[in-house]
Amino acid sequence: MKRVIFVCMSNSRRSIMAEAIFDKLTGPKAQSAGIDPKPADQNTFLVLKEIGIDCKGKSKKVTEAMLEQADKIITFRCAEHIPEKYHPKVQNWDFGAKRQVGEEQKERTLEYMRELRDSIYEKVKELIGQIG
């Protein structure tokens, strides 16, 4: 299985969910990080727990080393922040609202987070099928 990094602006919801779901389905092969990390959204952990994933991830900043080591880079509407030399490894997923660098994060309801989780779950399963 290939090494995957999930990158979003804040590393507080979408990328944490994707990492946790990917690892549940394949074993620990993924990591997540953010361009402009913000504190993790506690609703992220609640909706993951509902599907049997006990996750306590912390937001972290994406590094050059993470990008270098990844076989596949999945971005959530922030591919333009990834250095061009890594673009051949990038696949951009369009989930949720796009936050700009420095912009405050908006609170999301549990209902919204459940829908987001379920959409990401399906997309991660599709990705696993593609990269085997």
Which CATH architecture describes the domain 4-131?
3-Layer(aba) Sandwich (3.40)
Predicted local confidence at residue 41, as pLDDT: 86
Closest CA to 4 of 68, 65, 70: 70
Work out whether strand 90-93 and strand 72-76 pair parallel, antiparallel, or are unpaired: parallel
Model pLDDT for residues 74-101, shown as the tens digit of each residue: 999 899 999 999 999 999 998 766 555 5
Quote the pLDDT of residue 61. Answer: 96
pLDDT per residue as tens digits for the range 2-37: 899 999 989 989 999 999 999 999 988 899 999 999
- The pLDDT value recorded for residue 98 is 59
> What is the rounded CA–CA span in Å between residue 120 and residue 52?
15
